[in-house]
Amino acid sequence: MVLYIIGLGLSDEKDITVKGLEAVKSCERIYLEAYTSILTVGKERLEAFYEKPIVIADREMVESEADVILKDADKVNVAFLVVGDPFGATTHTDLVHRATELNIPVVPIHNASIMNAVGCCGLQLYNYGQTVSIVFFTDTWKPDSFYDKIGMNSKIELHTLCLLDIKVKEQSIENLARGRKIYEPPRYMSINTAVSQLIEVAESRAEAEPVAVPAYTKHTIAVGLARVGCVDQKIVAGTLEELEHVDFGGPLHSLVLAGKMHFLEAEVVRAFAVDKGSFDKYAVVSQH
């Protein structure tokens, strides 16, 4: 008997692999992780397709009540469903570690995630550096460590994938302080918000270090990707300044800051450009 960690892919109930579907059908209990990413369909569609009931596993359950998920997994098959690939988030690695300590066999079943599907924009996967996360700024909290990581990537001419913040089942500071289990509506960061924050940080750093080589500027070429893997997938390239004003539609969004592009990469990305003249002016392209 095993704990299956099953990747669901990026779009809907049909993105699961044949191997994953067979595993699901063999399980007595099925949990759907519901806070690091989302599909375009709800759990009802998954239940109808898999012909099995599904329990939503929020962050609190996965991080604080893992024993509930792992209960009797040494006697019956249990499935833990993850949007994208099973190991796209460290939380899932922790669950595997806990299961291993309890001598519960773990079988991962992989699937597509944004980490590889981002190749659809034309920038080659082996030309990416460190991936960064962009979180929602508040009036009092504006973490900007991503700037230095983008700078390291840029220095060696690599692209940077930016994963954008998701807020699901979050409590306000007041409700948290009062111990009230009242949650804020889900929020999914848009490319527009991410770009606005990126430009804000770039301008702040330029003021603080006027002689430094910037990690990026508002003229840096970037690619915005929305709903990758879905029928209404949208890809738009342009300067950060241009992308701030593009309507990308609903979630989920991702953003790539381009490093130096091979000329073949540039040809593909240029086809997605808001303004090809602007792209030709600001793109950094290698002819070799």
Dihedral sign for Cα atoms in the order 29, 34, 36, 42: positive
Among 27-31, 36-40, 145-149, whose mean pLDDT is lowest? 36-40
10 known ligand binder? yes
Residue ranges covered by each domain of the chain: 3-112, 115-282
The pLDDT assigned to 258 comes to: 98
pLDDT confidence tier of residue 24, bands split at 50, 70 and 90: very high
What band does 31 get if pLDDT is binned at 50, 70 and 90?
very high
Residue type, 225: L
Backbone angles phi, psi at 29, to 5 degrees: -130, 140
Residue 164 assigned to a binding site: yes
Q: Are 238 and 279 in contact (CB under 8 A)?
A: yes
Tell whether residue 74 is among the known ligand binding residues: no
CATH number of 3-112: 3.40.1010.10
5 annotated ligand binder: no
* 246: amino acid identity, one letter: V
pLDDT in tens, 77-109: 999 999 999 988 766 888 888 899 999 999 999
Report d(CA 237, CA 274) in Å as an integer: 6
Predicted model pTM: 0.92
Does the annotation list 224 as a binding residue?
no
Q: Is 195 labeled as ligand-binding?
A: no
Helices (H), the chain: 18-25, 43-50, 59-64, 66-70, 90-101, 114-117, 146-155, 173-177, 191-208, 240-243, 263-270, 276-282
**Superfamily of 115-282 according to CATH:** Tetrapyrrole methylase, C-terminal domain (3.30.950.10)
Q: How confident is the model at residue 50 (pLDDT cuts 50, 70, 90)?
A: very high
Is 228 marked as binding a ligand?
yes
